[in-house]
Structure 1
Amino acid sequence: MKKFALLCLMLVASVLSLGAYAEEEEVVDTYAYYGFEPDIVTNYISNRKKLGFVKISVELMVKVPEDLIVLEHHDPLLRAAIIEILGAQTEDKVKSLTGKEEIRRECYDTLNRLLEQEIGKPLIVNLLFTKYLYD
């Protein structure tokens, strides 16, 4: 009888410790990235007589991997918005570090606003320029 009681006590203790462990476990966000293919290439307002251009790779970070399907569906709209933003920039802004950050932020805000209009909520957690070339 003592062995049975000891076995039951050990079983209860192990179940309780598993429950406590499950409560301590943090929920980890699973981020996913959507990249525009091919790279985005467009012109910008140049100070010279020569036409200026910029080529960028853009990655959109989302919290839920299933949101990648929504981004893929709206790719043409989002790409067009980025091209429009880049085309309106001056050479000085395109070529400066602070200008690049302002452009990135404007793209981020605009894309989230467009997604909110289309699907009712913003999806993008962050927008990254993984390639940023200009001439």
Structure 2
Amino acid sequence: MNLRFLFRTLLVSFVLLAGVSSNAQAQGKPNYAYLGLEPDIVTNYVGTTARKLGYVRVTVELMINDVELLEIAEHHMPLLRATAIEIFGRQPEEKVKSLTGREDIRRAILTALQDHMKQETGGEVVRDVIFTKYLYQGG
């Protein structure tokens, strides 16, 4: 008797959860995915003088517009990584070390990634860029 009750409860719960999930998708709610640029980005940046270089190590996560676009983003991973590395390499020490500069770098990377993906795929794949670890030294 208890097994029947448990089974019915689980069945009803499953049906309700499936309905809520499909209802959220039917209402057009976003179905974001996250993709990490693996391994961490480690590159040099320009120090206070041209003879001094510092380095930065950043863990970058990309917010992808839809789970269905995840495979496309993974396919273009070399382009995405190269773009982030290139942008970090052009930054002066002041930007790398300041909070406002860090936000400027994040926005520059986001804009560049969105532009590249629009050229490659015809659509917007990357919604946001998130730095989950940010370390710098030297300069």
TMscore range, shorter length? 0.7 to 0.9
| Cα distance in structure 2, aligned partners of 1:94 and 1:38 | 20
Unaligned runs of 5+ in 2: 1-22
The alignment status of 1:29 with 2:8, answered yes or no, reads no
Amino acid at match of 1:64: D
What's 1:54 paired with?
A: 56
CA RMSD of aligned residues (A): 1.6
1:79 to 75, 81, 86: 81
| Cα distance in structure 2, aligned partners of 1:36 and 1:127 | 10
Residues 25-64 of structure 1, C-alpha deviation per residue, up to 9 Å, x if partnerless?
8443221101011101000001155420000011111231
1:120 to 98, 122, 136: 122
| Cα distance in structure 1, aligned partners of 2:65 and 2:55 | 32
What's 2:70 paired with?
A: 68
Q: Please, what TM-score do these two structures have when normalized by structure 2?
A: 0.75
What's 1:130 paired with?
A: 132
Give the CA deviation at 1:125. Answer: 1.2
| Cα distance in structure 1, aligned partners of 2:70 and 2:134 | 23
Amino acid at match of 2:105: I
State the identity as a percent: 51
Residues 87-115 of structure 1, C-alpha deviation per residue, up to 9 Å, x if partnerless?
00000000000000000000000000000
Count of aligned positions: 112
| Cα distance in structure 2, aligned partners of 1:127 and 1:44 | 20
Instruction: Check conservation: 2:41, 2:59, Cα contact below 8 A.
Output: yes
| Cα distance in structure 1, aligned partners of 2:30 and 2:85 | 31
Unaligned runs of 5+ in 1: 1-21
Instruction: Check conservation: 2:65, 2:124, Cα contact below 8 A.
Output: no
What's 1:44 paired with?
A: 45
